[in-house]
Structure 1
Amino acid sequence: MPSLLFYNEPAFLNRDVHKTLSFKASSDYSFTEDVNSVPLTGIEFFEASRDMPVLFSKDDNGDFFPLALLSLMEAGHKHLGEAGSWSDSYIPAFVRRYPFALTDEGTVCFDQNASQFQSEEGEVLFNEAGENSETLNNIVQFLNNYDQQYKSTLDYCGELKEQDLFTPFNLQILLDKDKPLRLEGLFVIDEKKLTSIPEEKVKAWFDSGWLAWTYAHLHSLGALNRLVKRQKQEV
């Protein structure tokens, strides 16, 4: 999972080195302009499914993770409006957490090149005593929540893999005579296999929320039609 996809100059946040650093929140998401998908956590499947397909990819270790398909283009997407604003659709938490992130050890890091740190205006991250400001505490809480959801999502994907529920999802769309578009290397949950999982698994997945995530994923596949229509309009 490309955890630092957008970060050009990541650094650990240090209360001594960055004691004067201030942060100004921004609605400019133009840093995403070159990607056509971003990772997603399970709890986001519900909201994302209204606007974009939720599919699965596989990393070099053979482990699966979910992603939100933003467009059918080879690179880029059309969710950006004026001044880098995000259009009226769901913004994945992976995007919203930028320019901050947590390391596997729980250390806060940030992109030193991010525009949110280039303004003279903004809110300090550390107070005069060197303690976390309220702004930083809120950021850390968001990052911790995201990290917990990310780990839970990996557990969910591991269970799906163990139950052999993933099936390849290959799609070919004929935009015009000379421009066939193919989606390869992606996976979906096999709905037929899903009906044969043991009853105790169904109950456990219901209690954990994983069953709801699964059906939100399946529901999201209908959003492919929206991407196809948008793609054809732009050809």
Structure 2
Amino acid sequence: MSESTTAPDAMNGAAAAPTLPPLYGQLEGLTAERHSALRLRDAGYGFAAAASAVPLAAEEFAIAARSLAIVFAAQAPHMPVALTGLAAGTNLFVDSGGAWKIGAYVPAYLRRYPFFLLRVAEGSEELALCIDPGAPQVSDSAGEPLFTADGKPAPQLERAFAFTKSVEEAMLRTRTMTQRLAELGLLKSSVVQFEQHGHPVRIDGFFAVDRPALAALPPEQLAELRDRGWLEVIYAHLLSIGGIPDLARGIGG
């Protein structure tokens, strides 16, 4: 008996407007006129309980790889995701109370929610901070206010904008990296196979850095990866794949 599972891909359709990014129900540009009464509260990670894969920036790989399996989406531009479950709609890192697994890394994509940055117009460099008004973190009665009494951004909102901007910039740098890895022929369809309860299990449907292709790179291209800080990222990704069997076992511990 052989069980075959396709790894979830959180990036399907995420990049093409007007499709919303994963986990977001809607997005509204934040304004004091419209959102002066909004507050932000800690609501845990129950909103991500059905997210079996979460977008991840390259800068997170080194620490994320200690607790999360990291793969690349099969669809171009092959953006990386952290696998949180092998069954669609299942996140093994979120418990029934919405708490994240103790000791496991929480991707910045989740910590950034319910905020998101969008360009004010096509081709514009100006970014507008948006919010998902239906997010459980958003309230009109509990939590820290987003705006002051005179309509200015409150410290909470200023911090949210700074963090959201840093996540957006990290994702753009990650996109540059994945495009280069693809150009070098390093990202290829991959399979993980192992035994569970005496039966073979096969996990596919994702891309990974191909070790033979990496080893065959000319010295100047290998030096490029080293100088751009991407070798550490690649090795963290390759080591993290060893955690996929743990996902099949339901993590444990």
What is residue 73 of structure 1 aligned with on the other side? 87
What is residue 224 of structure 2 aligned with on the other side? 204
CA distance in 2, matches of 1:128, 1:204: 51
SS in 1 for 2:32: coil
Range moving further from structure 2, 9-18 or 47-56: 9-18
Q: Percent identity?
A: 29
One-letter code of the match for 2:160? I
Aligned 1:39-188 pairs, distance under 5 A: 39-59=55-75, 62-88=76-102, 89-105=104-120, 106-118=127-139, 120-171=141-192, 175=196, 182-188=202-208
How far is the alpha carbon of 1:145 from its aligned partner?
0.6
CA distance in 1, matches of 2:52, 2:170: 22
What is residue 13 of structure 1 aligned with on the other side? 30
SS in 2 for 1:103: strand
> Would you say the 8 A contact 1:42–1:213 is kept in 2?
yes
Range moving further from structure 2, 142-151 or 205-214: 205-214
CA distance in 2, matches of 1:101, 1:68: 19
One-letter code of the match for 2:184? Q
Structure 1 residues 181 and 104: alpha-carbon distance in aligned structure 2, compared to 1, 3 A threshold: farther
CA RMSD, aligned part only?
2.2
> Would you say the 8 A contact 2:56–2:80 is kept in 1?
yes
Number of corresponding residues = 228
Deviations 1:59-88, CA, capped at 9 Å, x for gaps: 3xx321101111222331221225211012
| TM-score, scaled relative to structure 2 | 0.82
CA distance in 1, matches of 2:208, 2:95: 30
Structure 1 residues 220 and 174: alpha-carbon distance in aligned structure 2, compared to 1, 3 A threshold: closer
One-letter code of the match for 2:35? H
Q: Normalized per residue, which structure has more helix? A: 1
CA distance in 1, matches of 2:161, 2:59: 19
What is residue 3 of structure 2 aligned with on the other side? none
One-letter code of the match for 1:34? A
Deviations 1:183-214, CA, capped at 9 Å, x for gaps: 33201101111122232333332232111111
> Would you say the 8 A contact 1:24–1:119 is kept in 2?
no
SS in 1 for 2:35: coil
In structure 2, runs of 5+ residues without a counterpart are 1-10, 15-19, 121-126
CA distance in 2, matches of 1:12, 1:180: 49
Deviations 1:158-203, CA, capped at 9 Å, x for gaps: 00010011121134566569x9765332011011111222323333
SS in 1 for 2:62: helix
Runs of 4+ in structure 1 off by over 6 angstroms are none
> Would you say the 8 A contact 2:47–2:136 is kept in 1?
no
What is residue 194 of structure 1 aligned with on the other side? 214
